[in-house]
Amino acid sequence: MERLRERVRQVENEQNEEEDKKEQEGEKEESTEEEEEMKAMLEVEVEKEEEKDKKLLFGLIRPSLLQNISADLISVSPGANITLLCNITNYSEKSWYQMISAGLRQIISARQSSLNKHFYVDYNVDESHFYLTESSSSVSLVIIGVRETDLGFYYCGGRNDEKHIQFGKLIRLNFT
């Protein structure tokens, strides 16, 4: 896909160079129909590749969660606080997700400071109900006053760059 994007940029650069040259010669012409057609075809290919990547990413994530039948079971009393431990380390970005019938819901995410190595929350769906605790390069999710809508499956995810993402063990939360 990156090669297609690079090719689109290359065609655009070539067209711009030709136009600049023609402007200098006082002979600026409109792009040929063939060039425009080629550019449009490349853009369509890039869009198709991006869509494939999205499907592939979703396909890779979803089956791995569905195949991981052995979730850690955690029971909690209604209204109690609970801490869910993240079993992945050494990632500068961490997020917690809840699997609900509508799909995945991001609960909270944090980034690690390069200066002091602490995690700072950059997204929280409900600050009065969720927060993170930090322990040795990982973050745990704390749910304050667990309610019925909190029951279900949770997992943490870590990312260092756009290409390396890891998900933690699935956790099932239910009432005692």
Q: What is the pLDDT of residues 117-169, one digit of tens each?
A: 889 999 999 999 999 999 876 799 999 999 999 999 999 999 987 678 899 99
Report the pLDDT value the prediction gives residue 13, as an integer from 0 to 100: 73
4-24 CB burial, b ≥16 within 10 A, e <16: beeebeeeeeebeeeeeeeee
Report the pLDDT value the prediction gives residue 175, as an integer from 0 to 100: 96
Same structural domain for residues 110 and 52? no
Is the confidence at residue 113, as pLDDT, over 70?
yes
Same structural domain for residues 45 and 125? no
Instruction: From 28, 50, 67, give the residue that closes a domain.
Output: 67
Same structural domain for residues 123 and 139? yes
Same structural domain for residues 35 and 85? no
Same structural domain for residues 150 and 76? yes
Structural domain tally of the chain? 2
Spatial distance between the Cα atoms of 47 and 53, rounded to a whole number of angstroms: 10
CATH of the domain at 131: 2.60.40.10
Same structural domain for residues 60 and 100? no
Per-residue pLDDT band for 14 (boundaries 50, 70, 90) equals confident
CB neighbourhood size of 159 (10 A): 17
Report the pLDDT value the prediction gives residue 108, as an integer from 0 to 100: 96
Same structural domain for residues 95 and 126? yes
Report the pLDDT value the prediction gives residue 147, as an integer from 0 to 100: 97
Instruction: Tell me which residue range forms the domain holding 82.
Output: 72-175
Q: Say if CB 81 and CB 144 are below 8 A apart.
A: yes
